[in-house]
Amino acid sequence: MTAWSFLGSKTLRKDSLAKVSGALKFTNDLEVPGMLIGRIFRSPYAFADVKRINKERAERLGAVVITPDDVPQKLYNPRLVSVHEVTFKDHQVLTKRPRFVGDPIAAVAASSEELAQRALELLEVEFENIRKPILDPFEAMSPDAPPIHERIMKGDKWVEVKNNVGAELTYSEGDVDEAFKKADVVIERFFKTGRRYHMQLEPKAVLCVPHTDGSITIYTTTQTIHNTRILVSQIFDLPESKVNVVKVPIGGSFGSSIQTNVIVPIAVALCLKARKPVKIALTREEDMYDHVGFSMHFRIKAGATKEGFLIGGEFENIIDIGAHQVQPYPLLGTSLGWFVSLYKWRNIRYVGRAVYTNKVPGCAIRGYGAPEVTWAVETIVDELAEELKIDPLEFRLRNYVGKGDIFWGQGPTVRSVIKSDGVPELLKEGSELIGWSSRGRPEDKKGRFRRGIGVGRGFHTSGAGGPISGEVIDYSGAVLKVNEDGSIDYITALQDHGGGTLDAHVKIIAEALGVPPELINVVWSDTSTTPYDVCTHASRGTYVGGAAALKAAEIVKQKIFEYAVRVLGRVVNPEALKIRYDRELKQAVIYVEGNPDLKITLKELATIAWQRNWGTIAAVVTHRATSAPPSFTVWFVEVEVDTYTGKVRPVRVVAGADIGTVINKDLAEGQLHGGFAMGWGMAVAEDTPYNPTTGELLCRGFITDYKIVTAQDMPKVEDFKVLFAETYEPTGPFGAKGLGEAASNPVAAAVANAIANAIGVRFYELPITPDKILKALKERGEWFE
Amino acid sequence: MSEVRPVPLNLRNSRILPIRFEYYEPTSLDEALELLDKLGEEAKVLAGGTDLIVKMKMRALEPKHLINLKRIPNLNYIVSDSESIRIGALTTWSDLEKSDIVKNELPALYDAVKAMGSLQIRNMATLGGNICNASPAADSAPPLLVYDAKVKVVSKQGVRVIPLTEFFLGPGVTALRSNEVLTEVVIDKHNVSVGSAFVKISRVATDLAIASAAVMIKLKDGILEDVKIALGSVAPTPVRAKSLEAALVGRPAKLEEVKQYLNLLEKDIKPIDDVRGTAWYRREVSKVLVYDAFLKALNRLGGCSL
Ligand SMILES: Cc1cc2nc3c(=O)[nH]c(=O)nc-3n(C[C@H](O)[C@H](O)[C@H](O)COP(=O)(O)OP(=O)(O)OC[C@H]3O[C@@H](n4cnc5c(N)ncnc54)[C@H](O)[C@@H]3O)c2cc1C
């Protein structure tokens, strides 16, 4: 192991004091003089057309009002991640054809929230063609279902929507039918996941400020300031140089702001009409009507030989995308990517369909389909192992995609080869810690409270890079400059969702240059001062963004050495120099190995460079990763099922993660704890059912009825063990890989497998609520009466 | 026209109170009663606001007048004398939690306090509000029902004392008249036993009950001399399980005995499907909850006989 100066050590997060003291300003905290407050008129119907809008009364109140007639008539997709030709567009800034309860139809802005609310209530909107909502994707695909959208755009071309299928992807490799014939065991299962709401701490908000030269500045909740700028520029025909999007701290995201939020163009339209700053902040209930995750329906058929090798996998994936597309097309690709990169199926057939329903649009939610696919695959793999009487861990080891294998988690166009793999180590250590071998068989378990141990294994990619430019955009940038006292300004467009991504970057820069983190300033930058970064998504923040920072640091280091040669007269060339952190001086020192007298601190050097007019040491880089290596995670979970009430409780957890070099250990552990909570909620609690006649969310958007698990529902801290594999990713910055999504992906799988081990019942529909468990036990004639 | 009804989501705004109303802060009970008498049906009294304000933001209630009771002194107390325990209507759940009287003498109510809401909610929410809000899921109701509590309600016209069993009339509907304020909960000590407990099942911690149950028992020579059972969230109001109670009085205090009669519960409850759970699940789990509460109550009497 390398002895790092900063990597792996505990340091104070840069934003921690501002966060704990409440000083940090999120978008909704921002105020500018003359600012108006915007409110959005949302469709009260799930499937209807607007006949007439009368805005007179609202305007008489002094409000600025916009309707579909006041905004650009363009279709767009809020998320820019796929290349243009495969970007499907059906959103409008405001619509006359609302397709879910909550679809924005008009908006008002007034000097206060109260006034804006009154204006909103004075809008008179008449509807026609009010139809019963279609809430089930299979119903939507039936030939007599009315079309939710007739035509949408794919890139620049119009396409007809058939059977409400918004996008489709098929793929095959080898001969699956032949493989199933040869297989000794074939099983086929149907799965259905819940449609979860992200419940990020901060409901979405936007503030748009106009300037006299026609330019605008936007402050908003986003994972990507550059894509927000590009989209606004496209919709409003403004040059990008006239749209500046400022990075504002965000209160968590989990994918909810992976797209440009639809409130952004609405605020821009209001702002352009009012010629005043406009702020829109969603209430929690509106936020839940703005976005949820996707729900997925799978059919998986898998075949294996009696020797314990998989030989065929068939995968049908129907995604309930809701009323509009927030890039479900790449999700069709990643779903397949997760499937093929979990295990070597050898023969594969896939069909994926993204289907419209009259529901809140689905967008990415932590893992982008991986938690769902992993749950289904890990269930099937467990069942195959049981059937073949092979230890499920052994079966996994024999079949998983690991070191040396071709890997394309992010879909067929993003391929690379795996170079680091901690799976065997994590399976071994984790199973010992949890007591895998003594987990017992469900049929031997008796009594009211039954415990079970389950495993869930999976991964996430680190970004979506690769050697070839596929259908996905993925690159990043960084600016680094050495100030006149040797301290450093780091400027990046990359957003930190609150997980400490930028603290990881700081450590990477610190490690490269020997400058302590306290002397590195992360600039709250904007689109006008930063090179492009696609988005903080796909667990790429550390791996891609950190690599960009490192690349800039390496250039800066070279320039430092060039200047240092001028000062340290006797040195032959810059290659002779090194830089390191000096613990006593608490700063970076440039030195020559074996010559203790030949050295200078970076502070001294920077000052000399300034005083002698040598110029600023700085670097601007853009970075494309040529790989998207998997970060593997292996979860072991012990649960206890109360067979009288059907309630499940987590008892013990072993979270194993292979993320290469661990840059911030405590923050990485935090990701795993949070990942567990989210996965547990997915497994046992979360879904957003609808009222079948009105298309209203049954919880009505209220968190009193959309329940996420709380700290009290978690295992005790001492019963939660975290393991990090001893791996090094040669393509990553200092050997690091990503974590954000891998931290959660296999959790629901492990929980479901643990429940099966406790009571011998498998559930194919999430969430596994107490009533489902009780019903299953009663059907087996097993209850306390 | 179609039968599809519009969803009132444009009326909701939880960041503000999206309705207009007059606000009053009386500093005495008389002043409050005077106001209520004058303003009638269009007025609502405000205690902790943890139910009322939520309903106003949801536009489920649009009172024209809001009368805050929290400035009225002496409505926040827990006192115990030889005959009874009396609790003021404005006593918060956090006050109940800190009270030794509640902890030692009313263990079922104490269980409910421990299972109620979060710290922030317990700091704001009052006992009177929980009762007057009359949710079938009100956590204080099953314990108070098994203790045969009465509530004191006051108006300009005078005082009424109403047994809790007659107070709840339907979801959100009580025997309270529009000019009345609930001032006190009274529990007769003869109706109390340490052999009492409350249990609750909810989707996650910090949540309203899917179903809940309280049990109070008194024993004589191993025989159930007195049995009170009440359930929450399984009927339009919190309910007493009178059929099951009647069957159990005079039987041996054994869990196996209790188990045999649990099906009688079906006569006493009328569960429905809602966001928190299904009617089927509620029916099944009520039996388990009563069983568990029984076990807990028996244990509190110094040991159970299984
Ligand atoms: C997040 C959250 C979690 C919750 N969890 C729980 C839980 O676990 N269990 C549970 O039982 N409840 C729960 N509640 C509901 C609520 O907190 C309780 O019912 C609480 O006790 C209500 O008291 P309050 O003082 O806030 O009442 P308020 O909201 O002030 O009033 C409620 C109603 O009672 C009337 N009222 C209040 N006081 C009087 C009085 N003295 N005389 C006449 N009428 C009166 C009001 O006019 C109003 O109609 C929760 C609420 C929230 C928001």
Residue A1 has what pLDDT? Answer: 52
Residues with a CB atom less than 6 Å from ligand 1: A 704; B 44-52, 54, 69, 89, 116-117, 121, 124-126, 128-130, 132-133, 137-139, 176, 181-182, 208
Q: Say yes or no for a CB contact (<8 Å) between A102 and B9.
A: yes
Distance from the Cα of B161 to chain A's closest Cα (Å) equals: 33
Tell me the per-residue pLDDT of A726-772, one tens digit each, with 9 for 90 and over. 999 999 999 999 999 999 999 999 999 999 999 999 999 999 999 99
Residue B93 has what pLDDT? Answer: 98
Same domain, A379 and A507: no
Q: Say yes or no for a CB contact (<8 Å) between A130 and B204.
A: no
Spatial distance between the Cα atoms of A217 and A174, rounded to a whole number of angstroms: 53
B165, part of any domain = yes
B6, part of any domain = no
- In this complex, which of B14, B16, B280 lies closest to A771 when CB atoms are compared? B280
Same domain, A66 and A82: yes
Q: Say yes or no for a CB contact (<8 Å) between A130 and B1.
A: yes
A159, part of any domain = no
Same domain, A527 and A639: no
Residue in the structure block whose two tokens are 């054809």: A97
**CA B61 to ligand 1: nearest atom:** 49
Residue B303 has what pLDDT? Answer: 64
φ, ψ for residue A315 (rounded to 5)? -140, 120
Same domain, A507 and A527: yes
Distance from the Cα of A374 to chain B's closest Cα (Å) equals: 24
**CA B176 to ligand 1: nearest atom:** 43
Instruction: Decide the pairing of beta strands A476-482 and A648-658.
Output: unpaired
ipTM of predicted assembly, 2 dp = 0.95
Q: Say yes or no for a CB contact (<8 Å) between B15 and A283.
A: yes
Same domain, B182 and B223: no
Same domain, B115 and B173: yes
Residue A3 has what pLDDT? Answer: 86
Q: Say yes or no for a CB contact (<8 Å) between A283 and B13.
A: yes
Please, are residues B297 and B143 in contact by the beta-carbon 8 Å criterion?
no
B89, part of any domain = yes
Cα(B160) to centroid(ligand 1), Å: 22
**CA B53 to ligand 1: nearest atom:** 29
B73, part of any domain = no
Tell me the per-residue pLDDT of A675-701, one tens digit each, with 9 for 90 and over. 999 999 999 999 999 999 999 999 999
- Boundaries of domain holding B107: 78-190
| Average pLDDT per consecutive 10 residues, chain A (785 residues; last block may be shorter) | 86 93 97 98 98 98 98 97 96 98 98 97 98 98 97 97 98 98 98 98 98 98 98 98 98 97 98 98 98 98 98 98 97 97 98 98 98 98 98 98 93 88 98 98 96 98 93 96 98 96 98 98 97 97 98 98 94 95 97 94 98 98 96 98 97 98 96 98 97 97 94 96 98 97 98 98 98 96 79
List Cα–Cα distances, A349 to A184, A301, A328, A345, A448, in angstroms.
19, 10, 19, 10, 43
Q: Report the percentage of chain B scoring pLDDT > 90.
A: 95
B235, part of any domain = yes
With cut-offs at 50, 70 and 90, classify the pLDDT of residue B121: very high
Cα(B49) to centroid(ligand 1), Å: 6
Q: How many CB atoms lie within 10 A of CB A726?
A: 12
Same domain, A429 and A561: no
- Boundaries of domain holding A396: 295-467+627-779
User: For the residues B45-67, what does the mean pLDDT come to?
Assistant: 96
Q: Is A778 on the interface with B (CB under 8 A)?
A: yes
Q: Say yes or no for a CB contact (<8 Å) between A283 and B14.
A: yes
B10, part of any domain = no
Q: Say yes or no for a CB contact (<8 Å) between A283 and B2.
A: no
Same domain, A579 and A636: no
| Shortest-distance Cα residue to atom 3 of ligand 1 | B117
Split into its structural domains, chain B has a count of: 3
B290, part of any domain = yes
Q: Is B182 left (phi over 0), alpha (psi -120 to 50) or beta?
A: beta
Question: Which one of A569, A600, A623 terminates a domain?
Answer: A623
Please, are residues A567 and A605 in contact by the beta-carbon 8 Å criterion?
yes
Residue A2 has what pLDDT? Answer: 65
Please, are residues A364 and A464 in contact by the beta-carbon 8 Å criterion?
no
Give the domain CATH number at B259.
Answer: 3.30.390.50
3-state secondary structure A121-176: HHCEEEEECCCCCCCCHHHHHCCCCCCCCCEEEECCEEEECECCEEEEEEEEECCH
| Shortest-distance Cα residue to atom 37 of ligand 1 | B129
Question: Which one of A565, A591, A623 terminates a domain?
Answer: A623
pTM higher than 0.95, yes or no? yes
Question: Which one of B162, B190, B218 terminates a domain?
Answer: B190
Spatial distance between the Cα atoms of A356 and A484, rounded to a whole number of angstroms: 57
pLDDT at B304 over 80: no
φ, ψ for residue A350 (rounded to 5)? -135, 140
Strand runs (DSSP E) across A323-431, as ranges? 348-356, 406-407, 416-417
| Shortest-distance Cα residue to atom 19 of ligand 1 | B130
Same domain, A386 and A302: yes
Same domain, A716 and A610: no
Cα(B107) to centroid(ligand 1), Å: 21
Helices A665-684 and A747-759, axial angle in degrees (round to 10) = 50
Residue B41 makes CB contacts below 8 A (sequence gap 6+) with: B178
Best mutation site among B50, B76, B91 for ligand 1 pocket (most ligand atoms within 8 Å of CB): B50
Distance from the Cα of B305 to chain A's closest Cα (Å) equals: 17
Cα(A188) to centroid(ligand 1), Å: 50
Give the domain CATH number at A388.
Answer: 3.30.365.10
Question: Which one of A238, A268, A288 terminates a domain?
Answer: A288
Give the domain CATH number at B49.
Answer: 3.30.43.10
Q: Which of helix, strand or coil describes residue A91?
A: strand
Same domain, A454 and A488: no
Cα(A5) to centroid(ligand 1), Å: 55
B48, part of any domain = yes
Residue in the structure block whose two tokens are 């020559």: A592
Cα(B132) to centroid(ligand 1), Å: 8
Same domain, B159 and B210: no
Contacts of B54 in chain A (CB under 8 A): 704
Distance from the Cα of B306 to chain A's closest Cα (Å) equals: 14
| Shortest-distance Cα residue to atom 49 of ligand 1 | B133
Cα(A643) to centroid(ligand 1), Å: 33
Same domain, A438 and A560: no
- Alpha helices, DSSP H, located in B5-160: 29-39, 52-57, 93-98, 100-105, 107-115, 119-124, 127-133, 141-146
Burial (Cβ within 10 Å: 0-12, 13-18, ≥19) of residue A665? middle
Interface of A with B in 42-71 (CB under 8 A): 42, 44-46
Same domain, A618 and A642: no
Instruction: Decide the pairing of beta strands A587-592 and A595-601.
Output: antiparallel
Same domain, B97 and B164: yes
φ, ψ for residue A475 (rounded to 5)? -155, 170
Same domain, B54 and B106: no
Tell me the per-residue pLDDT of B164-214, one tens digit each, with 9 for 90 and over. 999 999 999 999 999 999 999 999 999 999 999 999 999 998 899 999 999
Spatial distance between the Cα atoms of A639 and A456, rounded to a whole number of angstroms: 13
pLDDT at B2 over 90: no
Question: Which one of B168, B190, B212 terminates a domain?
Answer: B190
Same domain, B127 and B158: yes
Contacts of A694 in chain B (CB under 8 A): 4-7
Residue B306 has what pLDDT? Answer: 43
Same domain, A663 and A711: yes
Same domain, B185 and B114: yes
Q: Report the percentage of chain B scoring pLDDT > 70.
A: 98
Distance from the Cα of B87 to chain A's closest Cα (Å) equals: 28
Best mutation site among B17, B44, B51, B55 for ligand 1 pocket (most ligand atoms within 8 Å of CB): B51
User: For the residues B78-88, what does the mean pLDDT come to?
Assistant: 97
A185, part of any domain = no
Q: Say yes or no for a CB contact (<8 Å) between B4 and A120.
A: no
List Cα–Cα distances, A592 to A17, A129, A569, A571, in angstroms.
39, 79, 12, 8
**CA B115 to ligand 1: nearest atom:** 8
A516, part of any domain = yes
Tell me the per-residue pLDDT of A344-372, one tens digit each, with 9 for 90 and over. 999 999 999 999 999 999 999 999 999 99
Give the domain CATH number at A236.
Answer: 3.90.1170.50
Closest to A36 (Cα-Cα) out of A293, A318, A289, A279: A279
Split into its structural domains, chain A has a count of: 3
